[in-house]
Structure 1
Amino acid sequence: MKVKNYIQLEEALSSDEKIIELVCSINAVNTIKLKEGQKLISNKKNILLSFINGGGIELTGDNEISNISIQTSPDKRAIYIDSNLEDLKEIALKNLTVTGMVQLLTRGNNKTMTVNINGLDIVSADSRNYPERPMKYGVIVYQGALTIYNFNPEEGSEIKVYAQNISLGRKHAPVIGSGIFISGFNDEAGKIIIEKLTTNEIYSNGMIPTGQPNLITGAVFIAYGVYAKEIISNGAITTYGTNDMVLDVWGTVDHWITKKKIMSFGPSGIGFVNFGHVKTFKAEDSIETYGMGARGFNQYDGTIQDATFKSIKTVGDGSIGMQFSKPVGRITIQESVITEGSSGETLVKGIIKVLKADAISVLDGGILEELNILGDLVTKGEDVVAYHVNGGLVKAMYLKGKIMVYGKKSRAVLVEKNGKTDLSELKEYI
């Protein structure tokens, strides 16, 4: 059924029509709701469905929205689920440009759903007002401009995700809150399986006050209860705010590759922080962070089997290049790790601590099977260490380049508190 105005749209939605085609742009007065099995589409360009009073599109199950632009207030939900169905079947979102949050959150009777997204560009959104937030490691996480959240803890509750060509925000005009946020109910219940996720450019800003110790966001946040088979980040990913992680994993990821820069511009931001279990990770471009306590890579829980980084650069006091406090496999840096900073405050597991901007830091509990640095280790700050093993263990170490330290009281190598490392590659620096 083709519709030209809001009255015709409401009539079509209340009928048994399965395919509703917009042929003109429409200003909707109120929220609209798709019945189970209904599709809202357009075959024309420049079709805009806007919501004057906030509103948005409610989905009930087995729905599709394709080839239209949707606009509501950025702090409202443009697309969301309101259903009592146990099996929501497939929710398909294709070739959409959106202002407002896309929230696919299941709860209550909802147990199973397949999400199929291909082409979603969220221009502007603010996801900070929604109360369902995961909490672990001493922190709470804001939902995202794109949220896929299994909030049903019952046995058998599962969401499958196929999501490609996701873009969020604009350079210097990021979405507010997290970017892509995907979470299960907890580690044991409310599962999500990501078959494939591909992203284009993503820009986010949590708008968290500086000094807030227990609230974080992520540009791409893979929270607990999530198993991701493949993630490909084709575009640059950038965060701008305090406590904004660029990439954050609490769940399980088989393979993740990033093809463009990973950048953070806020205090206590981290390029990639892993609390989960990652098999392989490869950053084909640099990871760069700018701000006090903003670090390049952290392994605070879980493990990573094989990770390759092109290069890491941090600028700011307390901004460590790479830090490990859990066992990992092989870590390779193809170029260099560079830090520019001294001591400064940063957020660690919900607590503000003072850290030094060491290039490599291996803490008690950190075990590296193999560390390969094909470029240099460089520090440009006072009283820091380029290669610091503080209670941890590095079983095999290879350094092709040099260690260069610029700053008073700084050291090239320091192994302390029963820490162990293969020093054969570092003799000239001791």
Structure 2
Amino acid sequence: MKITKVTTLLELLKAIAENIPQTLEIETSILSPHSITLPEGYKITGKSNESCLVCFNNSDGFGVTRDNTISNLTVMTKQTNRAIYTVCGIPDMGDIVLENLNITGQASIIARPGTDKINLVSNNIHITSCDSRHYSEQPQKYGVNVYQGALTVYNFNSDKNSKIDCTLTNISLGYKNSPVIGSGIFVCGFGDEGGKVNLEVLTTGAIFSNGMLPYGTANIITAAVFILYGVEAKKVEHHGELVTYGVNDMVLDTWGKVERWVSDDSIVSYGPSGIGFVNFGTVKDFMAQDITTYGLGARGFNQYDGTVENITFKSITTHGDGSIGIQVSKPIGNMTVEENVTTYGSVGNSLVKGVLTELAANAISIKEGGKVESLTINGDIITYGDNVTNYALEGGEVTKFTIGGEMIANGENSQRQLMEE
């Protein structure tokens, strides 16, 4: 393949105008006042991703078409723009490869009507800053809409034969106390029926996100990592801390299917109704380290719909009023907490399926319709707030319950166990 060295915007535009598949090697920093569409078969790479930048000061960035590669670059737009995006109406986009990139703005791979096939490979991507709140394509279910993410992979084509195959490895977003705005990683199909996404692998480093929603919002949510409906994921792994800061900012959330999901670092939520892990989908095996939430109504783990076969946490700790440690509303398999489940809050509001609802910060709550085949707590179950219950069977069922430590209820008018028929 022809290699063209590029040092100016004019050289870049001339090479693209040739419309002959080639590799464009960027050797310096280039500023463009408009977006640039890569023709079929074009690859653009930087000589060094530290010194080679392509910046767009008034527009979106690179549009990809078919069999394009963008690698070894810094790509910058305004945080409200798309740094990399898919061009509409191409039936088969072939292989889209994004590798070794530092990005300001959104990386947006969306299949709209007219696009039936995309094979996306993304590796070693860091998005420093993005605000994805204003994009209108938003999934809807359970009484809420979901904001897109800094990295968005979305099959918005309703044709049941349309599919995005993707591998996303070593993705990191934002910085500590400097999160991306909106969701973090967002992977979504058209719906429960229609266009699908096959997510072979997702691995991440640290992710920091903030939906920036006003307190009291009940119909919009975000997540640091959101695997939505229409997605079948084989392996999801997190090798860095996952942190959300705002209202209704879940850390991990799924409406889809995940075979194996592992987080080997801390999961932290600071905002109201910012839940550590929410499952509306079908998960086979889930394993996480410490989950800690601080906000009002910010629960540790919630099983709302679907099921999980095997789920393990190192520990779960919540601090806010209404912040339940573990809440189960549907049948699941085996749950293990290796250390303690601890709640510090009392009674407060929390978002439940699009409705702000008053909840007590019970350590464990098994609601009507919820059933746990086996629940093992190797440490203690501890509550500190007033008017809460340590272990509450609120119409639900636990077939086998094992605790290695103690059940401790410290607050006034609190109790260790509640069983309701």
TM-score normalized by the length of structure 2: 0.98
Q: Secondary structure at the match of 1:153?
A: coil
Is residue 61–residue 83 contact of structure 1 (8 Å, CA) maintained in 2?
Answer: no
Unmatched runs of 5 consecutive residues or more in structure 1: 419-430
Cα shift readout 1:251-294 (whole Å, capped 9, x = no counterpart): 000000000000000001100000000000001x2000001000
2:6 to 3, 8, 11: 3
Q: Secondary structure at the match of 1:109?
A: coil
Q: CA RMSD in A?
A: 0.7
Task: Confirm whether residue 233 of structure 1 aligns to residue 255 of structure 2.
Answer: no
Is residue 390–residue 415 contact of structure 2 (8 Å, CA) maintained in 1?
Answer: yes
**How far off its partner does 1:83 sit?**
3.4
- Take 1:138 and 1:149, find their aligned partners in 2: how far apart are those partners? 20
Task: Confirm whether residue 26 of structure 1 aligns to residue 26 of structure 2.
Answer: no
2:315 to 297, 311, 318: 311
**How far off its partner does 1:132 sit?**
0.2
Task: Confirm whether residue 248 of structure 1 aligns to residue 253 of structure 2.
Answer: yes
Alignment partner, residue 275 of structure 1: 280
Alignment partner, residue 72 of structure 2: 67
Spell out the pairing of 1:152-167 with structure 2 (5 A cutoff). 152-167=157-172
Alignment partner, residue 117 of structure 1: 122
Task: Confirm whether residue 301 of structure 1 aligns to residue 309 of structure 2.
Answer: no
**How far off its partner does 1:84 sit?**
2.1
- Take 2:121 and 2:277, find their aligned partners in 1: how far apart are those partners? 26
Unmatched runs of 5 consecutive residues or more in structure 2: none
Is residue 59–residue 83 contact of structure 1 (8 Å, CA) maintained in 2?
Answer: no
Q: Secondary structure at the match of 2:413?
A: coil
Is residue 21–residue 39 contact of structure 2 (8 Å, CA) maintained in 1?
Answer: no
**How far off its partner does 1:54 sit?**
2.6
- Take 1:189 and 1:314, find their aligned partners in 2: how far apart are those partners? 38
Alignment partner, residue 412 of structure 2: 408
Task: Confirm whether residue 333 of structure 1 aligns to residue 346 of structure 2.
Answer: no
Cα shift readout 1:66-86 (whole Å, capped 9, x = no counterpart): 000011100100000113221
Spell out the pairing of 1:43-82 with structure 2 (5 A cutoff). 43-44=47-48, 45-82=50-87
Letter aligned with residue 179 of structure 2:
P
- Take 2:268 and 2:250, find their aligned partners in 1: how far apart are those partners? 10
Cα shift readout 1:346-405 (whole Å, capped 9, x = no counterpart): 100000100000000000000000000000000010010000001001100001100111
TM-score normalized by the length of structure 1: 0.96
- Take 1:200 and 1:110, find their aligned partners in 2: how far apart are those partners? 31
Letter aligned with residue 57 of structure 1:
F
**How far off its partner does 1:116 sit?**
0.2
Q: Secondary structure at the match of 1:208?
A: coil
- Take 1:128 and 1:55, find their aligned partners in 2: how far apart are those partners? 16
**How far off its partner does 1:17 sit?**
4.2
- Take 1:151 and 1:215, find their aligned partners in 2: how far apart are those partners? 19
- Take 1:354 and 1:85, find their aligned partners in 2: how far apart are those partners? 49
- Runs (4+) of structure 1 exceeding 4 A deviation are none
- Take 1:310 and 1:46, find their aligned partners in 2: how far apart are those partners? 42
Is residue 45–residue 73 contact of structure 2 (8 Å, CA) maintained in 1?
Answer: yes
**How far off its partner does 1:242 sit?**
0.1
**How far off its partner does 1:24 sit?**
1.2
Percent identical: 49
